[in-house]
A and B are shown apart, each in its own frame.
Chain A
Amino acid sequence: MSATAHPETAPELSESGRWRRYAVAAGFLAPAAIMLGVWVVYPTVYTAWRSLYDREGDDFIGLDNYKTIFTTDILVTAVKNNALWVLVVPAFVTAVGLIFGVLTEKISWAVAFKTAVFMPMAISLFAAGVIWRIMDQKEPERGTVNAMIGVVADYVNPPGALPTAFPATPGLTGSESEGYTLRRPVPTGGTALLPLTGIPPEDVPAGATQAVQPERQVGAVTGVVWRDFKPGGGTIGKVETQELGLPGVTVELLDSSGEQVGSTTSADDGTFAFEDLEAGTYRAKIGTQTFQKPFDGVPWLGPSLITPAAMIAYIWVWAGFSMVVIAAGLAAIPRDTLEAARTDGASEWQVFRRVTVPLLAPVLSVVFITMLINVLKVFDIILSVAPGSVQDDANVIALAMWRTSFGGVNDFGLGSAIAVFLFVLVIPILALNVRRFRREV
């Protein structure tokens, strides 16, 4: 840092006085210059140069390392994932911050709300990943997120009476998702026997009693749904003692053209009846809702959802940053401007769209750009949120760089190339920043 390279004229000072002042300035700058030179500038140049050499650093291989980035599966995944991060997360964080900022503007307990949302900012991204790994466990009994989704899912789609059951005889055809239909048509006055099996004792619906052979009834189709399993054996397709009726099963009756003409649920002894039917033949069917499985959890930590899961954790951390910066921007908007718009008859939504957002644009772009830079360098949260087996699926550029260089592969050539690639992605943002700062200088 040669502070004395271009001596400028400072008329009021003598030559020696000026040099003395430059020397003092150099003294103040020296520690920073050394630190930045040795730890930032020199390494940046070295890494760029090193990226053109092979793993050992002996052979110059041109751009081969860069080619490798785009031809190796896990590195391509990293680039794709990072692209997804860039597309989704900055926009989402900015939007969430804007919504929270606007909503809290007029409530008296805004400080408490902001503290709650801002708090994760103090937590390391690594610990945040640990937290969400716990939250995202698959089983609804253990994972908080799936437990919450499960409450809603089981309300919308109540689990069926017999999620594991299947037909005991080939006489019932179909599938869990279509329901099972009795192959043999039943005439009015006939009976339909619907044997099911594959029901563990603890899953037998409460209140089930001994199954009963249905009685024939004129002008009706009667039948029974039962657990066709007798300890120690028995005859398949036959109602026997110790075999339980299955209550709560949805039975549908179809006419000869396959049109549904009735639906009922079985009684405690498994029996059901469709009465007052026109003479003819019908088919009995066990409805799909009977086999509806209870919500068994979204595999957040599985290979296909691990990136969204990590993004949710990341947004949880950064929403507070966005909210606080945007709230400060909102507070700086002159009240009069908003009032004037309202007086002119603008609705709250119009005020928001036409006045607030345009005035906030500089602040929104600051948040967006900051998040863009952060997201390009996302690293720690992946290491903790993603189980080892799916880390390849969750790979991002910064993580790929570290794993390639230090995580066992130890290829400094390729690692350098990935670092440079990351740097190149950041440069356009750097240009934006420099422009912004220069205006302030």
Chain B
Amino acid sequence: MAVAAEELRGRPEVVVEESVARKIGRAAARAPLHLALLFIGLLWLLPTFALFMTSLMTPQDYNSFGWWRLLSEPSLATWNNYSNLWRDSDIPDALVTTLLITIGGTILPIVIAALAGYAFAWLEFPGRDWLFILVIALLVVPLQMALIPVFKLYNTLGLFDTILGLVLYHTAFALPFAIFLLRNFFMGIPKDVFESARIDGASEARIFLRLVLPLGLPAIASLAIFQFLWVWNDLLVALTFGRETQPITVAIFNNVRQFGNNIELIAPASFISLAIPLAVFLAFQRYFTQGLLAGSVK
């Protein structure tokens, strides 16, 4: 409650002339709200914390008691699961694969979508609006619609079980949203910028590289974070088009069948798999939120 009172005092809306007694009274009235939110906040953090604690347990311990025992008996915790994970090459390999797929699957769709977004925003050609509507319509085509034909296509083209194959699939399905977002953002750039460049004799390619990309950076950053998280976290696409080419989600998936026995691998690998996107998210939270709002509230 003391904390709650502290919090309230900092709030600008509290009327200055209010007596101390009234302030304390108001703070006390708000205390349940603060406590409830504190409880909910901790509740939301608990599952991730539980995974981390579980990743420090031996399988025997995991199968006999809950992770909270480690709080009272810290000596039960061990980093062995993590060091074993590094010794065995599956997970490190999977992390490298994940990283390659994610980098390719983030950069490629952004480049392609930026080109198309610029065309939709500032180049004139017949049927522009209708084509744009078509792109938006494609937004809702479920990934599942293309799995079977692309599976066959990849077998013919030799793209099955390759990083490139996964990158291209992610790229294609990222495009509708990326084009939509970037086109809208580019439209917000003042027209004069392009026209004066054109009068100066700049080619469209030059305008794109020197003006559109730098000016579009905020939107591109949001999109990049989104796409990074999306591709990093994918299971479905990698599970369908990969065998040896295994990102981390698939590597964990292959161990899930024997959950209790493989927990020494599943828990730390899951924690590593989420620590990286979590770090990206926390570092770029602002862009992420902006992208989210641009995508849904516009």
A binding-site residues for B, Cβ under 8 Å? 1, 3-8, 10, 21-22, 24-26, 28-29, 31-33, 35-36, 38-44, 46-47, 50, 100, 103-104, 106-109, 112-113, 115-128, 130-135, 141-144, 147, 316, 319, 321, 324-325, 328-329, 363, 366-367, 370, 373, 376-377, 379-380, 383-384, 387-388, 398, 401-402, 405-406, 412, 415-416, 418-420, 422-423, 426-427, 429-430, 433-434, 437-438, 440-441
| In the complex, chain B residues whose CB is within 8 Å of the CB of A125 | 233, 235
Size bracket, chain B contacts? 35 or more
Q: What is the predominant secondary structure among interface residues of chain A facing chain B?
A: helix
Output the residue of B36, B147, B229, B267 with the most chain A CB within 10 A. Answer: B147
Q: A29 and B115: CB pair below 8 A?
A: yes
| In the complex, chain A residues whose CB is within 8 Å of the CB of B116 | 28-29, 31-33
Q: B175 and A377: CB pair below 8 A?
A: no
Compute how far the CA of A207 lies from the CA of B127 in the bound complex, rounded to whole angstroms.
Answer: 89
Q: B126 and A117: CB pair below 8 A?
A: no
Q: A130 and B144: CB pair below 8 A?
A: no
Q: B149 and A47: CB pair below 8 A?
A: yes
| Given A28-B119, A119-B44, also A402-B144 (CB < 8 A) | yes
B binding-site residues for A, Cβ under 8 Å? 7-8, 10-11, 13, 33-34, 36-37, 40-42, 44-48, 50-51, 54, 62-68, 111-113, 115-116, 118-119, 123-127, 129, 131-133, 135-151, 153, 168-169, 171-173, 175-176, 179-180, 184, 204, 208, 229, 232-236, 239-240, 249, 252-253, 256-257, 259, 263, 266-267, 270, 273-274, 277-278, 280-282, 285, 289, 292-293, 296-298
| In the complex, chain B residues whose CB is within 8 Å of the CB of A40 | 138, 141, 145-146, 172-173, 175-176
CB distance from B62 to the nearest CB of A (A): 8
CB distance from A344 to the nearest CB of B (A): 20
| Given A142-B65, A321-B292, A398-B144, also A123-B235 (CB < 8 A) | no
Q: B148 and A419: CB pair below 8 A?
A: yes
Output the residue of B7, B112, B180 with the most chain A CB within 10 A. Answer: B112
Known contacts A383-B253, A412-B148; can you find 17 more A-B pairs with CB under 8 A?
A3-B127, A5-B126, A26-B125, A28-B119, A32-B112, A40-B175, A41-B138, A108-B11, A115-B282, A124-B277, A126-B249, A135-B50, A144-B46, A324-B293, A377-B142, A401-B144, A437-B136
Compute how far the CA of A31 lies from the CA of B208 in the bound complex, rounded to whole angstroms.
Answer: 15
Q: B175 and A35: CB pair below 8 A?
A: yes
Q: A38 and B172: CB pair below 8 A?
A: yes
| In the complex, chain A residues whose CB is within 8 Å of the CB of B48 | 119-120, 123, 131
Chain B residue with minimal CB distance to A22?
Answer: B125
Compute how far the CA of A8 lies from the CA of B240 in the bound complex, rounded to whole angstroms.
Answer: 45
| In the complex, chain B residues whose CB is within 8 Å of the CB of A25 | 119, 123-125
CB distance from A101 to the nearest CB of B (A): 12
Chain A residue with minimal CB distance to B45?
Answer: A116
| In the complex, chain A residues whose CB is within 8 Å of the CB of B292 | 321, 324-325
| In the complex, chain B residues whose CB is within 8 Å of the CB of A142 | 62-66
* Residue in A38, A106, A144, A329 whose CB lies within 8 Å of B297: A329
* Residue in A35, A384, A402, A420 whose CB lies within 8 Å of B172: A35
Q: A119 and B281: CB pair below 8 A?
A: yes
Q: B150 and A441: CB pair below 8 A?
A: no
| Given A383-B235, A383-B256, A402-B147, also A44-B277 (CB < 8 A) | no
Compute how far the CA of A316 lies from the CA of B54 in the bound complex, rounded to whole angstroms.
Answer: 19
| In the complex, chain B residues whose CB is within 8 Å of the CB of A22 | 125-126
Compute how far the CA of A329 lies from the CA of B145 in the bound complex, rounded to whole angstroms.
Answer: 34
| In the complex, chain B residues whose CB is within 8 Å of the CB of A388 | 257
Q: B37 and A103: CB pair below 8 A?
A: yes
Please give me the 9 A-B residue pairs with the lowest Cβ-Cβ distance, nearest first.
A39-B172, A124-B233, A43-B146, A122-B281, A32-B116, A28-B119, A43-B149, A430-B140, A46-B149
21 example contacts (A-B, Cβ-Cβ < 8 A) are as follows A4-B126, A29-B115, A40-B145, A43-B150, A47-B148, A103-B37, A122-B278, A122-B282, A124-B232, A127-B274, A130-B267, A142-B65, A142-B66, A144-B47, A147-B66, A377-B144, A398-B144, A402-B240, A419-B145, A419-B147, A429-B140
Q: B235 and A126: CB pair below 8 A?
A: yes
Output the residue of B13, B137, B180 with the most chain A CB within 10 A. Answer: B137
Compute how far the CA of A156 lies from the CA of B173 in the bound complex, rounded to whole angstroms.
Answer: 52
CB distance from A319 to the nearest CB of B (A): 8
| In the complex, chain B residues whose CB is within 8 Å of the CB of A418 | 144
Compute how far the CA of A319 lies from the CA of B292 in the bound complex, rounded to whole angstroms.
Answer: 14
Q: B118 and A367: CB pair below 8 A?
A: no
